[in-house]
Amino acid sequence: MNLMSRLPELIVFISSFSLLLLELTAARLVARHIGSSLETWSAVIGILLGGIAVGNAVGGTLADRGHPGKICSLMLLAGAILCCSVLPLTHFAGMWSTLSLPWLLQVTLVTFTVLFPAAFVLGTLSPSATRLALEQDRPIGRTMGSMYAWSALGGILGTYLTGFVFFSYFPLEQVILVTSGVLLGMSLLCFLAQGAREQ
């Protein structure tokens, strides 16, 4: 199989890689306002999973209503923008930490503001990418297993590289911007693949 035939796996790999990178980076960013504690990490993980869950549900509806290649291209573009927006959103979210709110609500609001939009949009990619793979007349079971495996591998690699490499050598802002650039590049690749398919 050539690269374009493996585009669905590449999409879920990059989206999961980016999600886990954002999780660790968001935890560092929100810690500037609410500290790094068990409560902070619980909120980050919960909000991330919530964003992915809602994104998967909405993404499934989108995959049934439009062309999966176009949807992936648009959602990757939106993901690139929202990934980049994590930086200004962090400053905006800081206002929640200055209000006299219950601690649980304060932590949840700060984390939600920073992380949920990007997690939601990147969560929409999996259903469309899976449909894109199934349109290649692949065996259903093997295709589903491959998509889940590549998604998990992306998350694992994103976690290890972020924690052991990226944070050691690059500032958080640079890590976010490069990730946004990768998502933008994937969006362009999906757009070109879709154009080549329609010719």
- Identify each DSSP E strand in the chain by its residue range: none
* pLDDT above 90: residue 161: yes
Residue 100: the pLDDT is 79
- Average pLDDT of 91-114? 84
Q: What is the pLDDT of residues 105-119, one digit of tens each?
A: 888 888 999 999 999
Is 98 in contact with 88 (CB distance < 8 Å)?
Answer: no
Q: Give 24's contacts (C-beta < 8 A, 6+ positions apart).
A: 159, 162, 163, 167
Q: Does pLDDT of 187 surpass 90?
A: yes
Highest mean pLDDT: which range of 7-11, 105-109, 190-194: 7-11
Rounded to two decimals, the pTM is 0.92
Q: Which residues contact 157 (CB under 8 A, 6 or more apart)?
A: 17
**What per-residue confidence (pLDDT) applies to 2?**
60
Chain position carrying tokens 């810690």: 31
> Considering only CA atoms, which of 125, 161, 164, 170 is closest in space to residue 21?
161
**Mean pLDDT taken over the chain:** 91
Helix count and strand count (H, E) for the chain:
8, 0
Contact assessment for residue 67 and residue 194, using Cβ atoms and an 8 Å cutoff:
yes
For residue 31, count CB atoms less than 10 angstroms from its CB and return exposed for 0-12, middle for 13-18, buried for 19 or more: middle
Q: Does the pLDDT of residue 66 top 60, yes or no?
A: yes
pLDDT (tens digit per residue) in 32-60: 888 888 888 999 999 999 999 999 999 99
169-178 pLDDT tens trace: 999 999 999 9
Domains of the chain: 4-198 (1.20.1250.20)
Residue 106: name the closest of 50, 49, 39, 53 by CA.
39
Assess whether pLDDT exceeds 80 at residue 97. no
User: Amino acid identity of 74?
Assistant: L
Mean pLDDT throughout 58-68?
93
- The pLDDT of residue 93 is 81
pLDDT value, residue 33: 84
Continuous H helices in 124-166: 125-134, 140-161
Residue 198 confidence (pLDDT): 64
Confidence of residue 98 (pLDDT cuts 50, 70, 90): confident
The CA distances from residue 197 to 44, 56, 125, 128, 136, in Å, are 39, 25, 19, 16, 12
